[in-house]
Amino acid sequence: MTTRSLVERTGTFFGLVLVAMIFGALVGPQFFAPTNLELMARQMAIVSIAAVGMTIVIVAGGIDLSVGSMIALCTVVIAQLLRMDASPFLAALAAIATAALCGLINGVLITQLRVVPFIVTLGTMLVIRGAAKGLAEERRIEAPATWLNDLLRVTRGETLLPSGIWAVITLAVLVAAMLRYTRFGRHVFAIGSNERMARLCGVAITRTKVIVYALSAAFVGFAGLLQFSKLSVGDPTVSVGLELDVIAAVIIGGGSLSGGRGTVAGTLIGAAIMTIIQVGCSQKGLANWVQQIVTGCIIVAAVALDRIRSAHGTGT
């Protein structure tokens, strides 16, 4: 590891420590109590897992705005299947498959129509939201209680953290390894960093991109599962605008919208920073509008700092 990448990594981590210390000082030592930390972990699980998927897309130089809609569709799919007496496991699997299919469609549209990802996923954001509302007949879908509702709850026999959070951690580690230790992962970086170079090197660009969108959407499907677990109903109007939180987490974590840059660890730190601000502000009794202003400032500051840092790096 060069000193440069060390600076890049510790930069984001330093931001996390700083934000944690500020809110620790504001709220008091109970801010770092195990129960509070666990609360925050539960809070950030949904954004985190979707952001892990989004990291792959952004590293490949793309973007996916349909994330929030996919999550809503997933909660509806699960609720409907549970009402039809499907097994919880099957319902969860169907939700993930549904999201992956949405991602596959995104990928095919982007590569075959040669329309930029921003526009394609802006369109599918509406399409998928509409599909979710249609499937739910514009209502919340009540579902029978199953173990799916306990994914973000500590139940007896479990240690430390709810199973859903363990799953998020495991998946994040797998994606981090995939980006670093597989040929596919290096191809993703190559496409995002310089697509013409990737083409010159014989990288299968269309196939790789389609897989990127489908795979990333599968992680969104898992986020949908956690969202259902939190709500315990299928709600077609949930997670409106969530894609922006997800993208923000990746960007705060060092991802670049021009592609070729981003890490899973950075993304998780980005999600953690946003969660600390949210939880900290509400525990301090600050209004929602304060949270939003602070989060907005952090996003711009994080990217600006990154620019300054990388300009400094290349200048030497």
Partner 1 sequence: MTATPAAAPRFEMRGIRKAFGATIALDGVDLSVAEGEICGLIGQNGAGKSTLMSILSGALQPDAGQIAIDGHPFVPESPHDARRAGIAMIYQELSLAPHMTVMENIMMGAEPMRFGLVDWPCMRDMAARALGELGHDDIPPDAIVGSLSVAAQQLVEIARALAVGCRVLVLDEPTSSLGRADVEHLFALLRHLKTQGHAIVYISHFIEEVKSVADRFIVLRDGRNAGGGTTKDATHDHIVALMVGRSVGDLFPRTQRTRGEAILEVTALEPGSATFTLHRGEIFGIAGVLGSGRTRLLRTLFGLEPVRSGRVRVGVYSGAARPHERWGQGMGLLSEDRKEEGLASALDIADNLTMSKLSPFGPAGLLSPSRQRAAASRWISELEIKCAGPAQKTEELSGGNQQKIAIGRLLHHDVDILVLDEPTRGIDVGSKAQIYRLIDALVADAPGRKPRAVLMVSSYLPELLGLCDRIAVMQRGRLGEAIPAASLSEHELMMAATGGAPGA
Beta carbon of residue 190, minimum distance to partner 1 (angstroms, whole number): 5
Beta carbon of residue 57, minimum distance to partner 1 (angstroms, whole number): 17
Measured CA to CA in angstroms, residue 6 lies from 10, 14, 202, 255, 256 at distances of 6, 12, 31, 15, 17
Stretch that binds partner 1, among 93-101, 187-195, 210-218, 287-295 (CB under 8 A): 187-195
Measured CA to CA in angstroms, residue 107 lies from 16, 41, 115, 195 at distances of 33, 31, 10, 16
Of positions 84, 114, 196, 311, contacts partner 1 by CB under 8 A: 196
Beta carbon of residue 16, minimum distance to partner 1 (angstroms, whole number): 24
Tokens of 277: 């601000």
Q: How far apart are the C-alpha atoms of 66 and 241, rounded to whole Å?
A: 9
Q: Is residue 17 a contact point for partner 1 (CB under 8 A)?
A: no
Q: Is residue 308 a contact point for partner 1 (CB under 8 A)?
A: no
Contacts of 122 (CB under 8 A, 6+ apart): 65
Of positions 109, 176, 190, 277, contacts partner 1 by CB under 8 A: 190
Kindly tell me which of 37 and 200 has the beta carbon lying closer to partner 1: 200
Kindly tell me which of 35 and 314 has the beta carbon lying closer to partner 1: 314
Beta carbon of residue 253, minimum distance to partner 1 (angstroms, whole number): 16
Kindly tell me which of 133 and 186 has the beta carbon lying closer to partner 1: 186
Q: Is residue 312 a contact point for partner 1 (CB under 8 A)?
A: no
Among all chains, which residue has been given the structure tokens 């997670």?
239
> Could you tell me which of 126, 128, 127, 115 has the C-alpha nearest to residue 62?
115
Q: Is residue 2 a contact point for partner 1 (CB under 8 A)?
A: yes
Q: Are 59 and 195 in contact (CB under 8 A)?
A: no
Site string for partner 1, 255-294 (x = CB under 8 A): -----xx---------------------------------
Kindly tell me which of 180 and 307 has the beta carbon lying closer to partner 1: 180
Beta carbon of residue 176, minimum distance to partner 1 (angstroms, whole number): 13
Size of the site for partner 1 (CB under 8 A): 30
**Residue at 16: amino acid letter:** L
Q: Is residue 112 a contact point for partner 1 (CB under 8 A)?
A: no
Q: Are 143 and 78 in contact (CB under 8 A)?
A: yes
Q: Are 45 and 164 in contact (CB under 8 A)?
A: yes
Kindly tell me which of 156 and 183 has the beta carbon lying closer to partner 1: 183
Q: Are 229 and 148 in contact (CB under 8 A)?
A: yes
Contacts of 254 (CB under 8 A, 6+ apart): 8, 9, 11, 12, 261, 262, 263, 266, 270, 306
Residues 200-259 contacting partner 1, CB under 8 A: 200-204
Q: Is residue 311 a contact point for partner 1 (CB under 8 A)?
A: no
> Could you tell me which of 41, 49, 228 has the C-alpha nearest to residue 150?
228
Q: Is residue 314 a contact point for partner 1 (CB under 8 A)?
A: yes
DSSP 51-65: HHHHHHHHHTT---T
Residues 157-186 contacting partner 1, CB under 8 A: 180-186
Q: Which residues bind partner 1 (CB under 8 A)?
A: 1-2, 4-5, 180-187, 189-190, 193-194, 196-204, 260-261, 313-314, 316
